[in-house]
Structure 1
Amino acid sequence: MSIFAAALLSINVAAAQEPIIGRASVIDGDTIEIAGERIRLHGIDAPESWQKCQDGDGGTYRCGKEAAFALERFLAASRPTRCETVERDRYKRLVGVCFRADGQAVNHWLVANGYAVDWEKYSMGAYAAALDKARTSGVGIWRGEFQLPCEARAERAKQLPAC
């Protein structure tokens, strides 16, 4: 095998992939599926479907379910969805930045509306301003108290958080 062929084989397949475009099905607040391909939204972290948050009035609600339902409504308003892939994660999902047909950025919208947090470890702070806006406005998970999704997953798995 030539050096050129070996170099081509070593290229990250996801990074070289064409955008994925189609009708998105919501798996959870930060994962969708298009044409049978699971796509984890890059740089954000939404509460898990089982996760509960405080609502600010002394009650609790299933904030992960709320995030998933909000994402479904948001995507349904302007189809199809287009995702630019960044990589594949350890679960073999594509990781990407997605957009509605009208050009609105899905990842950004979720953070700006309080349905997800900026996962700076991966986003390098790309959604920090959106997170500040949501927190200041007290929308979504910011209307009360909540545990960061990565901390909730770690606690449930009895592991140290990887946040």
Structure 2
Amino acid sequence: MLINGKAVRIRLFGVDAPEKGQPFGEKSRQYTADLCFGKTVRMEKKDKDQYGRIVAEIYLPDGTSLNHRLVAAGFAWHYTQFSKNPDMARAQQKARAERKGLWAEPQPMAPWNWRKQHRRTSQFHAQL
């Protein structure tokens, strides 16, 4: 996101999207870009993460939440460790029931599990 002409990395509140290299990672990234790129959006800051990134909800020009739209389209998981939003939970249930996006996979792996598995594999290869 550009804030006063400066590029700032934003962590989306309450969602976790597939990683690069993970199934639907690139599709999620493209969906996000299609909704946001070159547009003026509104950011509602919620917190800062352990890396100092802003954690926020992003509102698109039409007033809808990017965070919610990603989950509803099946391009991100509702990150219940940080968000208890019932609307987000319902959006994920609906996307899953309709097999949208990543829910079309037979056994989609949550990004937090994929990162753990990927770290272990990387550590194993580093030891060889």
- Which range, TM-score by smaller chain? 0.7 to 0.9
Runs of 4+ in structure 1 deviating by more than 6 angstroms, as ranges, are none
For the 8 Å contact 1:115–1:141, the answer to whether it is kept is yes
Question: Which runs of structure 2 are paired with 1:1-163 in the superposition (5 Å)?
Answer: 33-35=1-3, 36-52=7-23, 63-76=24-37, 79-126=39-86, 127-144=88-105, 145-158=107-120
SS at match of 1:90: coil
Alpha-carbon RMSD across the aligned residues, in angstroms, is 1.6
Larger radius of gyration: 1
Q: CA deviation at 1:79?
A: 2.3
Structure holding more strand per residue: 1
Query: For residue 2 of structure 2, what is the amino acid of its counterpart?
Result: I
Q: Match of 2:19, SS?
A: coil
The percentage of counterpart residues that share the same residue type is 31
Distance in 2, matches of 1:84 and 1:114, equals 22
Q: TM-score, with normalisation over the residues of structure 2? A: 0.84
Segments of structure 1 that go 5 or more residues without pairing to the other structure are 1-32, 53-62
Q: In 2, Cα distance between the equivalents of 1:107 and 1:148? A: 16
**2: distance between equivalents of 1:158 and 1:90?**
21
Cα distance in 2, alignment partners of residues 156 and 80 from structure 1: 35
Displacement of 1:82: 0.9
Gaps of 5+ in 2: 122-128
